């Protein structure tokens, strides 16, 4: 089994950035809730629809940041221990793609690179077993 130090570090950094995404989205949701409750009489129906859709999108990004944080930390430690490396690598690629196109492109890029590197190393390890 090869050392997966680079993948571990990139996944931990990505999961830590997801924590920052959680904090940022939590603050956005709180400010959105406070801002709408201050002056509700002056809002038109279009404003209410816009705030509802915007709040829903921010809430979706918040849930995605929470999922990325949890999955990132679990995947980092599972891959470091050598448990189901290919499965966790594919999970990182999927979560990285979702993060890249939503709230955090840096988190997404780190997860994508880490997942791809781990899949490549996993297939290289299997090839070396057959030739040894």
Residues in the chain: 132
Residue 132 is predicted with a pLDDT of 56
pTM, entire model? 0.79
Q: Is 17 exposed, middle or buried (0-12, 13-18, 19+ CB in 10 A)?
A: buried
Distance CA 132, CA 120 (A): 18
Average pLDDT over residues 91-117: 91
**Residues 43-61: what's their mean pLDDT?**
80
Q: Which carries the bigger pLDDT value, residue 10 or residue 122?
A: 10
pLDDT in tens, 7-33: 899 999 999 988 988 888 888 778 877
73 has pLDDT over 90:
yes
Q: Within 10 Å of residue 128's Cβ, how many Cβ atoms?
A: 10
Q: What is the token pair recorded at 24?
A: 């940022």
Q: Looking at the predicted structure, is the pLDDT value of residue 90 above 90?
A: yes
- Which residues, other chains included, contact 84 with Cβ-Cβ below 8 Å and sequence gap of 6+? 78
What is the predicted pLDDT for the residue at 84?
86
What pLDDT, on the 0 to 100 scale, is given for residue 48? 76
The two structure tokens encoding residue 104: 């955090």
Mean pLDDT of the chain: 83
* 113, pLDDT greater than 70: yes
């Amino acid at each position: 089994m090869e050392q997966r130090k680079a993948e571990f570090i990139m996944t931990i950094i990505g999961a830590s950035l997801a924590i920052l995404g959680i904090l940022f989205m939590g603050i956005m949701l709180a400010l959105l809730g406070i801002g709408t409750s201050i002056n509700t009489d002056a809002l038109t129906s279009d404003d209410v629809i816009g705030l509802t859709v915007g709040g829903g999108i921010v809430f979706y990004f918040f849930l995605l940041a929470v999922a990325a944080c949890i999955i990132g930390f679990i995947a980092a430690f599972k891959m470091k221990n050598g448990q189901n490396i290919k499965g966790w690598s594919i999970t990182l690629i999927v979560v990285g793609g979702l993060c890249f196109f939503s709230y955090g492109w840096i988190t997404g890029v780190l997860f994508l690179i880490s997942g791809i590197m781990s899949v490549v190393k996993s297939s290289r390890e299997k090839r070396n077993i057959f030739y040894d």
